[in-house]
Structure 1
């Protein structure tokens, strides 16, 4: 079996005249015993021959099974491992990378970055989990935990750690993912918010409720995407590093969505009042996450909805200056606080995540399911990759599903009687 223990203080062969092994030039200057010769395993030194032989036997066994881990490779700091080894290997859409970087560099590395991988154990993770949950919201803390767990698992697969400390430790309470049920609006609230929006933006609400479009998809809709009985969704407006881009829909899933006749009439009326304009933006391709803005191809699209300055809509500005004021007027969220004499007016709204534009998409789903539409069809129209996800998200919008089945069994048994 490959591998042996070398005594670095004495020559390998005895002196022919004295019969004794003579000292080498390293006598007393280094660790005496060194394990060598195991393929793919770096040499390692020990003070005693017993320790060297024990490690040799263990290393030979692990190397033969492909399980050998050199603890010295785990001496690298978490920050260095992430920045030099893990992060460069991540291939995701640019927006996903931006979100990941915010959480890893903002909520993982400031706490654990200077520790060696091998020194991140249960106590360190327990303290980090408590600290990060005190510093940020549950959702952000949960995502930070997910990324840390993935980083440590990669270190295991890179043979830097024996095991992932984020797995299988019942004493660690990782940040829980907030449980948020999808909420739908009643028609009265939809109508009230629509009336509170400026005329040029009312069509965005119609597209959300009438076809289940995401906010960026509604902002990127072109008259050419509108057909007699369906909408073709092939792009959205994205924001990356505070800049606007056109890009494919989420998960690159283009789709056709049935177009209600009433919505088709509203779209036509909107076009007559607000003539579509051409807008040119770079194309943010998920397969080219590192390409700079100037090098990306430019795409020109006639937009159905645009700002008063005849440009593409920035969702952050729109949410602050159009959507939330409409919510406040409709009584959905509190208005901005009244300013005191001499104070500048506040533009900071209270958090209202559950009343974002996405609630219109939930409302569309609730109406469809309550009307008896199939989950498979709804998943296709919403652009979900798996109908099971649609079912998990919106199952509480189907209160009559069980009742229909019970009624059918009741009728069947009654007929048998």
Structure 2
């Protein structure tokens, strides 16, 4: 669904881009925003992108509002997450926490439960903390200046630019993953994006239409998400192909240059589903810091070299919770991938023997009924454990 019909007016003077940057392949300075990009070319790039956006831009719920809170929530959810995944979470979130005040006053467990399944849970914790800061320091109103926005937890320069441009039409550039990819191809940048960040920021700033920054930044992201995709970009449909160095040299599948990545670590984890004589299961809440901070889980830990799964589980439960257990049958084995590592969860039924459960390596422990497990926010891999428990009980 087209966003609208644009009738833009253009300023032939591009935004100044500041200091000179030396980079393999081109030289960038205040009077030369990109290699051989004239003011006329920048004018064409802006005009062509906005025209394309008016015809082909995506109709997304956060684009139908100018509420900075709603736009902020969408920007955070969209970090490292696809639009189709975000959509139902966004709708549910805005119903449950319709304003900054609602979010600030909510319990963290409610917030994490609403986020369950989206991953990267620090985003949810930061949203919650930032809402409390806005309520306390800004009277509940989202700030409108870049330094204040960037001082909030979880908001970097790109997210701040996305919010300020979309909500307030401020001329603040962005540089998310989609934009980096588009610019690397447009300018034929022959180093990984991480080695060209300053230059990429300057090019993004130089291209930004100062009169229509809201539409331009949204169009920029759409171009990367729908046309200039990581693999097999639709170059023939791209409004920028007349100016794209990668397209002209048939390098679009080689750019951007890949980042060098270390081998992905693979961790073997022993996990205990501990039952007591009342048919309850012991769960623990992780400490606030870290990847899955604040979430509940079935206790366990890393299997040491030469250690069996059963021995690992007994040791970890003693060290982390301070109780004695016996390890029984295997329930399920789960492979799960995070950003920088993979895990295999070796999950066993266990029977509580003795000792008083203690929160030694966690924030809280609790015996719960199987029927009540769904009330708690769990990491996605642990949700699979819950489903396995229920499936086994139905058999």
TM-score, structure 1 as length reference: 0.23
TM-score, structure 2 as length reference: 0.24
Bigger relative CO (Cα 8 Å, ≥ 6 apart): 2
